[in-house]
Structure 1
Amino acid sequence: MSVVSRSVSRLVPSTIRTNSIVALQQKCYASTQKTDLKEVLRELVPKEQKRVAEFKAQNKDVSIGQVTVDMVYGGMRGIKGLVYETSVLDPNEGIRFRGKTITECQAELPKAKGGEEPLPEGLFWLLVTSQVPTQEQVEWVTREWNKRAAIPQHVVTMLNNFPAQLHPMSQLSAAITVLNLGSKFAKAYSDSVPKSKYWEYIYEDSMDVIAKLPTIAAIIYRNLYRNGTAVGAIDSEKDWSWNFATMLGYDNKQFVDLLRLYLTIHSDHEGGNVSAHTSHLVGSALSDPYLSLAAAMNGLAGPLHGLANQEVLIWITKLVEKIGDSPTDDQIKQYVQDTLKTSVVPGYGHAVLRKTDPRYTCQREFALKHLPNDKLFKIVSQLYTVVPKMLGELGKVKNPWPNVDAHSGVLLQHYGMKEMNFYTVLFGVSRALGVLSQMIWSRALGFPLERPKSLSTDGLIAFVAAQKKPATGAGTKA
């Protein structure tokens, strides 16, 4: 249960207490049949502003945790110091999008005609409103994004002139930054728009950049891996993922559905991860969504964040080179043992989760249904049966189970996307849904400039020494 959820539970009758703050929101705010997302937000924002203001007023002095020296030196791991509304990561249940598990999202969110996986448009509506959208509402988002998808010519020219050696993520970040020229929030801020209106312009910029990301990503892909061939035009009748897949050059219906699933499950992972926190931090300076998202993409490009699925695939590729594509369990075990002598098994373990990542599970289910005989998938399945037990026997691993990155690369490889450097771009397109949903609410709720206090090691040593020093007099403070 999140800190905010626990705090709110003290304020409401036991009959409506819940493990999820989102469930409380849904009790308070009935779903609407309106299809214009901004109009829905106009109704939700004042209600949420009032709820948060009342909560803060009544609980401003309540302590929500303790910070240790180990946390400070450990990358602030586990410090409760950030409000992030759109998703919460539970150690046992995995990610919840506005209170919904991955399985619930797959079951409840609208799907494309003939598709089996949830549409990212529906996930975005859920993240922004905390309400499961209707089919009509999702179709409205699709039409809206298709209308906003055009890329300014100067951005296209810039992308076409990047050197082929420039990493796809660097190109994505640069293109998003340059789109800032058309920021509606930046213009409104320079025109002294009142703070109460900030969220409306953040919303407009967020919708614009999300709409343009598939085309930008597709241009990068085509330039690098398809000899600069044209991406084609947006089909106004098709959904966001379908257009993305087509512009990339893939027309396999299963791949389109895989992309819908991929873009949904990678969208958000609460606020403490590097990309989400970066966008939150940069946005708190009132940088517009383009600048904030570009900063998030630079964080996502790091090898300890968005490159993990690529590292998994490289490791599996080396496994195949060494012991073949039909290894025995004993051969797998030996390969894992050899790996553990010098490093870790990529794709296994998680900083928060203490069970198999539900995002891994849903990808596994997709593979079992559509590509059960794929040789790399069979190896992934073998690893699933072998690695957790081996890591558990070491006695040092808190979570020996696979995470989302242990599976996604193999699925993309199966459908012909073998360019591993591009995988993080797909991740980035997806992550925009989550971080920009939160940014709308950050400005709607008036979150201030983020500015934590830092200490030097000398200062921390002195502070700890003072805390340990026994009291010397009756009136001495600890």
Structure 2
Amino acid sequence: MADHNTDNSISCFSPGLAGIPVAESAVSSVDGKIGYLEYRGIDIEQLAERSSFEETSYLLLHGVLPTAEQLSDFDAKLKHHRRIKFRIRDMMKSFPESAHPMDSLQATVAALGMFYPFPKNISGEMDKATVDSVCINLIAKLPTLVAAHARMRHGDDPIPPRDDLSHAANFYYMLTGEEPYHLTERILDVAFIVHAEHTMNASTFSTLVTASTHADPYTSISAAIGALSGPLHGGANEDVLDMLDEIGTVENAEVYLNRKLANKEKISGLGHRVYKTRDPRATLLVKLYKQLTDKIGVDIDYRIARQIEKLSESTLGAKGVCPNVDFYSGIVYRKLGIPTDLFTPIFAIARVSGWLAHWKEQLGSGRIYRPAQIYVGKKGDSYIPIDERG
């Protein structure tokens, strides 16, 4: 039976659900005042410096760090499930060449659900093997889907995955046809780690809302990808590079910033709904970027970005508007030779582990999301026949 909420008793309204808890979770937590992020109680800095994306994904999904045997088994399963069915590739060939990679990814992830059916009418505890298998399948296949579309839209055949490469190295190989240098592999691996999870953001909430209807997990992750594609969420790092290209030189940075401030316009990559200081993920990416530039030199993008950050410290920084992860992630990816429109799909490749960790928590809830609204429209109007309408 449909829920006919009259909304008459609702009086509190928070646009965008700002500050309103919508779930309990043990997956991750953020302290925005001091710029601290942890996954399952472990500081993101420790994970970025000592872990791998494969191990971090296991941690997010299972709540504990794996033993050596558990990690080896998890990694082997990821490698085994990297390949995609030829009908998925055939479907991708029919996409227009102008299709954005995020649109391709959302469509193909949704299509996976037809090839890997998931039990309907979920109730009670799901079989652990079934849940684990769908998590493995999605984490393993997203890099293949992104790399395949990136090549096919240019008329090139997709490159099959290799089982002897790490998650990060294999993605780079499928994308470029070349094995990455160790530093390149490490940068991608850390980028995956720091993007893997970030509490209750828009895409994670989309996952939970869709999952709460007992939709299959491929549909839930497809919904998350759709939310991530928006420029206010995952697409922000593309906007940062557009901004840096528009500025052009370090000397132009101050004029650009002053104009934006005078017009009260948003500056791409600065500010976050949670962090009131520098995003710890941005700090980690900058540290790796510096290692990269020690080998191949500093480029204009970084110099302009640092100048913008420096100039904004006395104005925006005092208000808690500081660089977020998008401010530097695009610069890092461009330095690695990755096309700009693949930045957000790379975000999805990483974030799917976090989405699935929250999806697993939602399985135990059994309660559909059904928020209320405050009605502000007319009441009591009468129907007017069409020939009497003026």
The separation in 2 between residues aligned to 1:280 and 1:85, in whole angstroms, is 14
In the alignment, what sits opposite 2:15? 74
The partner residue of 1:440 within 356, 360, 365 is 360
Contact kept? 2:271, 2:323, Cα under 8 Å: yes
Which position in structure 2 is the counterpart of 1:380? 305
- 1:420 to 2:340 alignment: yes
Q: Distance in 2 between matches of 1:163 and 1:415?
A: 26
Match of 1:95 in 2: 37
Confirm whether residue 105 of structure 1 aligns to residue 51 of structure 2: no
Q: Which amino acid aligns with 2:25?
A: Y
TM-score by length of 1: 0.72
1:280 aligns with 2:208: yes
User: Runs of 4 or more off by more than 6 Å in structure 1?
Assistant: none
What amino acid is the match of 1:103?
E
- Aligned positions of 1:311-326 closer than 5 A: 311-320=239-248, 324=249
Return the structure number with greater relative CO, CA threshold 8 A, min gap 6.
Answer: 2
- Answer whether contact 1:148 1:208 (CA < 8 A) is retained: yes
- The yes-or-no answer on 1:213 pairing with 2:133 is no
For 1:357, give the aligned amino acid: D
Identity of aligned residues (%): 25
Q: What do residues 321-340 of structure 1 show as CA deviations (whole Å, max 9, x unaligned)?
A: xxx3xx24xx4222210122
In the TM superposition, residue 280 of structure 1 has moved relative to its aligned partner by: 0.8
2:162 corresponds, among 235, 258, 261, to 235
Unpaired segments of 5 or more residues in structure 2?
A: 1-9, 379-390
**Counterpart for residue 358 of structure 1:** 280
CA distance in 2, matches of 1:446, 1:345: 39
Residue by residue over 1:130-171, the C-alpha shift from the partner in whole angstroms, topping out at 9 and shown as x without a partner, is 222344433322210111122112111011110112211111
8 A contact 2:212–2:369 mirrored in 1: yes
Could you say which residue in structure 2 is the equivalent of 1:298? 226
How many angstroms does 1:277 deviate by?
0.3
**Residue in 1 that maps onto 2:3:** none
RMSD: 2.1
Contact 1:203 1:440 in 2 (8 A): no
Tell me the equivalent position of 1:450: 369
Q: CA deviation at 1:392?
A: 4.1
CA distance in 2, matches of 1:68, 1:120: 44
Long gaps (5+) in structure 1: 1-66, 110-118, 460-478
Give the equivalent residue in structure 1 for 2:132: 203
Number of equivalences: 362
Are the aligned partners of 1:359 and 1:403 in contact in 2 as well (CA < 8 Å)?
Answer: yes
For residues 137 and 200 of structure 1, what CA distance do their matches in structure 2 show?
14
C-alpha displacement at 1:349, in angstroms?
Answer: 0.8
TM-score under structure 2 normalisation?
A: 0.87
Q: Is contact 2:35–2:278 with CA below 8 Å preserved after alignment?
A: no
- Please state whether the residue corresponding to 1:196 is helix, strand or coil: coil
Question: C-alpha separation between the residues in 2 aligned to 1:291 and 1:256?
Answer: 30
> Does the Cα contact within 8 Å between 2:276 and 2:322 map onto a contact in 1?
yes
Cα distance in structure 1, aligned partners of 2:49 and 2:253 = 35
Amino acid at match of 1:389: S
Is this contact kept in 1: 2:61–2:353, CA < 8 A? no
